[in-house]
A and B are shown apart, each in its own frame.
Chain A
Amino acid sequence: MITALLVMAGLALVLGATLGAASVLFKTQGDPLVDKIDAILPQTQCGQCGYPGCKPYATAIAGGDADINQCPPGGDEGVRKLADLLGREYKPLNAEHGVEKPKSVAVIDEATCIGCTLCIQACPVDAIVGAAKQMHTIVGDLCTGCELCVPPCPADCIDMVPVTETVESWKWRYPVFELKVQPATLPAKEAA
């Protein structure tokens, strides 16, 4: 009788543990990985990676359909972070998808804008405001610099202007002389 009880109790324990482990395992394999990758991506939503936005690219990476070096706005640091998260080998940015550029924001030449709304439809983050046949303007704080609004503009009035430093965004410089050989080894640590 007691042995039977023990066997049953033991069985219950083992099954419970397996279930628990399975739930933990399945959790790490589901959406959270996509979210973790998505958290590293810059959310510029420019599509240079070949996917219609950062989240689809994150899904593709998680599914093994895309490589980790296809996002130019994320740059070298982004690739390193992804390599680190996924335990993969770092590789330089794939030039096919574009090159890393300093962050810019779009500026509409308000005198030339004809109010056609084509840029509004192109902007993935609703950073352009305006109505039909009225001048449009870009809300600088919201613009991610994806450049998607530039080609559709028939009046060619959108310029990408690099973001300049302000007193608020200025950073103290690294205190020692930057050695040219060092950056190759240092950022690896930084990603850790």
Chain B
Amino acid sequence: MLNKLFSFNGGVKPDPNKSASTREPIARLALPPQLVIPLHQHIGGTPRPLVTVGSTVLGGQRIGAPDGNVSSAVHAPTSGRVVAIEPRPMPHASGLSSPAVVIEPDGLDTAIEREPFDWHAAAPGEIRDFLRDAGVVGLGGAVFPSHLKLNPGKSGHTDTLVINGAECEPFITCDDMLMRTEPENILRGALIMQRMLAAKQVLVALEDNKPEAATALKAAARALGNASLEVVVVPTRYPAGGAKQLIRVLTGIEVPHGSRSTDFGVQCFNVATALAVWRALEHGEALTRRIVTVAGNVERPRNFDVAIGTPISHLFAAAGLKPDTDKLIMGGPMMGIPLPNIDAPVVKATNCLLASSPTLFAPPEPELPCIRCGECARACPADLQPFELYWHSRARNFGRAQEYKLFDCIECGCCAYVCPSHIPLVDYYRYAKSEIWARERDKDAADSARERFEFRNWRADREKEEKAAKLAARNAAKPAVKPADGPAPAADVAPAAAEDPKKALIEAAMARARAQKEAVAAKNTDALTPAQKAQIDAAEERRKRASELSGSDAPTE
């Protein structure tokens, strides 16, 4: 029994605004005329499409194969026809496009025959592979592939498994409604995770502003009668749902800079992820739907159970978007990202869609200079000094910003919330982080170019040496040939004498031809990554098609 809760530093208490969207139960949203399913919806490699334009798919059919182990599969939410595989606008602050599979549902909603999987008997590695192929990723917003986290690691066991239902951000209620609706299955999923992690205890935590969900979970826990599982109600304070913050509240463990909670025997998952694990293992259901809160400047705020790939406009239409909406946000008001495109699809990371209006969220006040009041540092739940991060990010002094642990910042927005100078602090951190990532990418690219350049130079040198050696061999052979060469008819006069030099000559010529062939043939086609090979194959394919099209006049040289 947990008899003592701890507390994290800082934090704020914004108006929760959660009651509007919890009045009605979760509504299952009808399918839109087109589903746009992005291939890349999680942290890690981009899945390879498994279908082609024109093919028919069934509900739950895998349409994207995970690219390596740090990746996750993507599935069709319903039956229909693939009408396109092309870049489509993403629910991303950039509004840019990424490859997606576009499906036109046939309305029959025929599901694929589910592969039976006996997880009770399966080895942990097999369960992990199964979850990867079922597309189960963290549904709290981070979309990290769950199978990678369901590994007890070297130690072989975990102390505490935390199931996070805190849902501290204003407006968002999808986890709250899920805990009210399916408490038993969430807990069953948690127990499977406990088994996979060999965890001593499971703590299902939620904030004390969700009494209905707490009651439902506690009743379900009693019914399950597992002594190692406990439902813990924590005080409401934003951001209690941050993984590090929640772990600190529950266990008192302060995960220091540069370490992970698993180093301290604690692993944390969102409640919806626990449910997805249960559904995948018990019912063979791939992750193709999720609960999304639609709130803010809408007529009927509500939670919807939607197919992944549903256009966001479809949800706002169902909730009744008010005409004076000036901005759309994916996520909540504290950590959400602006959504430039209303036709972008719902993805696995979409927990909330928030419409903003000038009356709901007053336009930001003009930014004033930092007065170094320290309010931000008092509010920061990550124990950072936000004004220092701001100062160095603003001055583009990224090295210094990193020294002040920029990457420990969880972008919770507490600092900006309390700042009397109305500085959009988080915008500066996001800017600085993406600049640093870009520089790292550039550096990696430069390093690889340097390596390839040096390798090429080394190869050129070696070839030169080989050629020189062959030339020397030929020159050595020549004097012996000359007498035979001089008087032409002399060749048949002394065939025996000419035999040896002739052999040498032919050999030299063949070596020359070989060397030429070697120089001509590309030697850079080996040691390519599968992605590059795929690129090459695709190009060969195009070439073939091009020459087929132009028929006999195709250039043959």
Contact = CB atoms under 8 A, between A and B. Distances in A.
A74 B476 CA distance: 49
A117 interface: yes
Contacts of A190: 395-398
A170 interface: yes
Given A130-B522, A139-B528, A167-B90, A186 B456 contact: no
Nearest to B546: A111
A110 B453 contact: no
26 contacts: A41-B446, A43-B450, A45-B449, A53-B457, A54-B450, A114-B557, A128-B522, A129-B522, A131-B521, A131-B522, A132-B521, A137-B535, A137-B536, A142-B449, A166-B96, A166-B98, A167-B40, A167-B92, A167-B97, A167-B98, A169-B438, A171-B434, A171-B437, A176-B394, A190-B396, A190-B398
Nearest to B433: A172
A165 B90 CA distance: 13
Contacts of B428: 175
A128 B456 CA distance: 12
Interface string B443-480: 00111111011111100000000000000000000000
B24 interface: no
Interface string A33-57: 0000010011111000000011100
Nearest to B446: A43
Interface of B: 40, 90, 92-94, 96-98, 367, 394-398, 424, 427-428, 430-431, 433-435, 437-438, 441-442, 445-450, 452-457, 520-522, 524-525, 528, 531-532, 535-536, 539-540, 542-543, 546, 550, 555, 557
A171 B435 contact: yes
Per DSSP, chain A at the interface is loop
The 9 closest A-B pairs by CB, nearest first: A126-B524, A137-B539, A175-B427, A170-B94, A43-B446, A43-B449, A171-B434, A172-B430, A190-B396
Given A133-B557, A135-B539, A189 B397 contact: yes
B546 A170 contact: no
Nearest to B537: A137
Interface of B is mostly: helix
Nearest to B531: A141
A110 B546 contact: yes
A151 interface: no
A140 interface: yes
B453 A43 contact: yes
Given A133-B557, A135-B543, A172-B430, A187 B396 contact: yes
Interface in A18-43: 38, 41-43
Contact of A117 (B434, B449, B457, B520): B520
A120 interface: yes
Number of contact residues on A: which range applies?
Answer: 35 or more
Contacts of B433: 172
B522 A117 contact: yes
Contacts of A167: 40, 90, 92, 94, 96-98
Contacts of A117: 520, 522
Interface in A100-122: 110-111, 114-115, 117, 120
B434 A172 contact: yes
A165 B441 CA distance: 13
Nearest to A53: B453
Contacts of B397: 189-190, 192
A143 to B, nearest CB: 9
A125 interface: yes
A44 B557 CA distance: 31
Contacts of A136: 522
A173 interface: yes
Contacts of A124: 453, 456
Contacts of B97: 167
A172 B550 CA distance: 46
A90 B48 CA distance: 47
A70 interface: no
Contacts of A175: 424, 427-428, 431
Nearest to B435: A171
A139 B438 contact: no
A65 B116 CA distance: 72
Contacts of B98: 166-167
A22 B271 CA distance: 63
A165 B539 CA distance: 22
Interface string A76-87: 000000000000
A173 B394 CA distance: 11
A44 B521 CA distance: 24
A139 B535 contact: yes
Nearest to A74: B446
Contacts of B457: 53
A126 B435 contact: no
Contact of A43 (B441, B447, B524, B557): B447
Contacts of A55: 450, 453-454
B552 to A, nearest CB: 15
A126 B455 contact: yes
Contacts of A132: 520-521
Nearest to B459: A126
A165 B96 contact: yes
A131 B520 CA distance: 7
Given A132-B521, A175-B428, A186 B396 contact: yes
